Structure 1
Amino acid sequence: MSRRALTLLLAGFLVLALGVVGAFRPVPYVVLSPGPTENTIGEVDKKPVIAINGRQTYPTTGALSLVTVAYQGGPAAQIDLLTALRGWIDPTVAVVPQETIFAPDRTQKDVEEENTVEMTNSQDSATAAALTELKIPFSMVVTVLSTEKGKPADGKLQKGDEINSVDGTPATDTNAVSNAVKAHKPGESVTFNVTRGKERLDVTVQTVSAKGQPQVGVVMQAKYKFPFDVDINVGDVGGPSAGLMFSLGILDKLTPGELTGGKKIAGTGTIQPTGEVGPIGGIQQKMVGAKDSGATVFLTPADNCAEAMKAVPEGLRLVKADTLHDTVLALDALRTGKGNVPACEAG
């Protein structure tokens, strides 16, 4: 073999070796793919997803399914370049920069814990929204779930504190508390009036800047006092985006007749206790998951409609969801064939 041929062979081998090594190097991206669906009026592991005790319930049929997004990657388990490339080719998944999900100052454990808290809050908000729709009275208090280590609230606010007001503004829900804090500039002080045990006291906390926004580092939970028990079991699912479907599942069980008309309906959207439906992430992957589960109708938050219309799977009908009340009316119209069914429109 000539020296030139040997050189080319060795160079080719080195390029191939470097390519193979490079393909398996970790990269700071996360792959998002369609996750599992759960029927909120069905069962998980032979247990009802929604169990109601202390109030009359009614039989249901069909499906009101929540949809999820599975992710691969993250600070603790970065994907390799080959996995990212496969994701870029697959139209049903998305490959996004790691920092869009895991902020530089937050670990994977922090994000997972936050998702768990958001899921718990979502379940409570969903119950509150359903009871509000049914005009069933209940009460609510905002409590401190935890404080972030090193942040201003650490050591001042305590787990279990009931927040009555912030700078005199009543703590009607967690959003009211957040908005009262955000009304300040970073560096200004905020006064929390809290009930701790049997004592009511004022706690002053100085805000700090987090991406230009004021923050004190408190994790809150809205604790509702409902007139009966509503237990929600979805296994290892986190985040707030199942709120709308939880509310619909609760409503379906608490009212005669069937919201679905026996159809398989899936959907997504955060929910406020007052019934407003909010936008979510991963809409494309959630629609694919809905279609794969057999759903023919997909309840879509109004703010996600334009994005959803760009990639809606064939055979899946998108129904716009602005509020819980409007969504119930839309389901009634779908079931009876009478009335308006609000559709998503391209932006």
Structure 2
Amino acid sequence: MKNNKLVKRLVAIFLALVVIACVIVPIPYYIEEPGDTINLKELITVNGKEDEHKGSFSLTSVGIRRATVFTALKSKVEPFHEIISADDLTGGASDAEYMQIQKFNMETSQNFAIEQALKLADKPYEMTYKGVYVLGVEKNSNFADKISVGDTVTKADGKTFTSSEDFMKYVKSQKVGQEMKVTYVHDGKTKEATEKLIKLPTDKKPGIGITLTDHTEIDSQDKVKVDAGNIGGPSAGLMFTLEIYEQLTGKDLRHGEKIAGTGTISPDGEVGRIGGIDKKVASAAASDNKIFFAPNDEITKEMEKAQPGIKSNYEEAKAAAKKLDTDMKIVPVKTVQDALDYLAKMK
């Protein structure tokens, strides 16, 4: 009898530990869910002043948290919740690299938004090139243990450049195996590294083995401050542009309405596709927004081939709104001017 009681007790303890593990022990998956909808009046000031017009422009976000067995199973039945693998989320980058990339994407979206708002408001500005921002480092790069994701490369062999394109042209004009001295900024400190160039697998040309993009900064007499905190990614570009433009011009674009939306912004004002738009629609609807701007992106044949059944962000947003049974109006936009034209008709 004593042995039976002991066995039962051990089984009970084991099952309890299994349940606890399912609830609190993370697994290599993440859950995407509706995140916060944030009033941009709280984040943006222009020339030290806040937006005092009624209504709001708000960015929408996707919440991401590490999954456990319990939360993964729960998300299967919760609307607008999705399980994704760590690789799908980060693209194979480490957590630290992923956060650096998201931070840079946010900074870039702010720069593009400020540039577009200044253009639309007919305000003077200059775009300053700071160097090449490192988005990734190849494992076989001879600079892999020196240059990191998030660093900014400022010189090659002591030469400076005016764009990442010029930088790449110079590097590709050299020879595979040739040594190159690279100057870069890491955690605010300028450093140098000299290593041999490798043959790039894409075009067989010489390279240092990094994924790169322009690192730029806006210089204007109008001082725009964006305090985005820990928010990352490029998807707030459109809404940043609208909020900054309203503050620069003093125009009442919203006419008292609560307006949310999403979409990247490009240097020429195009609104680009983003991920997780259904979750952003759910977040915006829960915050009682009346209008939601959604990218009306073009679906190419290549995209359809890679992802059969793929829909535009606008179509996805409309489907999410229908599922929610919300009165929030989904408005398609291809450019920031489309959004401004729609707002002008609200008078």
Shared fold, TM over 0.5: yes
Residue of structure 2 in register with 1:108 after alignment: 95
The answer to whether residue 88 in structure 2 is matched with residue 88 in structure 1 is no
Tell me, in whole angstroms, the C-alpha distance in 2 between the residues paired with 1:238 and 1:257.
28
Which range is displaced more, 250-259 or 263-272? 250-259
Shift of 1:37: 1.8
Contact 2:30 2:86 in 1 (8 A): yes
1:127 to 90, 96, 114: 114
Cα RMSD after superposing both structures: 4.1
Give SS of 1:240's match. coil
Q: 1:21 to 1:231 in 2, by over 3 A?
A: closer
5+ long unaligned stretches in structure 1 = 44-48, 74-78, 172-176, 197-202, 337-347
State TM-score, norm by structure 1: 0.71
Shift of 1:316: 1.7
Residue of structure 2 in register with 1:163 after alignment: 161
Q: 1:85 to 1:208 in 2, by over 3 A?
A: farther
Q: 1:289 to 1:217 in 2, by over 3 A?
A: same
Contact 1:38 1:234 in 2 (8 A): no
Deviations 1:15-60 (A, max 9, x none): 96796377356432210111112211x22xxxxx212128x99742
Tell me, in whole angstroms, the C-alpha distance in 2 between the residues paired with 1:209 and 1:95.
33
Shift of 1:122: 1.1
The answer to whether residue 46 in structure 2 is matched with residue 52 in structure 1 is yes
1:228 to 192, 215, 222: 222
Tell me, in whole angstroms, the C-alpha distance in 2 between the residues paired with 1:58 and 1:64.
10
Tell me, in whole angstroms, the C-alpha distance in 1 between the residues paired with 2:331 and 2:130.
35
Contact 1:57 1:254 in 2 (8 A): no
Shift of 1:141: 3.1
Deviations 1:109-157 (A, max 9, x none): 1111211111111111100011122232322133236545664666799
State TM-score, norm by structure 2: 0.71
Tell me, in whole angstroms, the C-alpha distance in 1 between the residues paired with 2:52 and 2:26.
50
5+ long unaligned stretches in structure 2 = 186-194, 298-312
Tell me, in whole angstroms, the C-alpha distance in 2 between the residues paired with 1:305 and 1:146.
31
Give SS of 1:164's match. coil
Contact 1:132 1:273 in 2 (8 A): no
Percent identical: 28
1:141-160 aligned within 5 A: 141-144=128-131, 147=134, 151=141, 159-160=153-154
Contact 2:282 2:320 in 1 (8 A): no
1:259 to 253, 256, 263: 253
Give SS of 1:28's match. strand
Shift of 1:68: 0.9
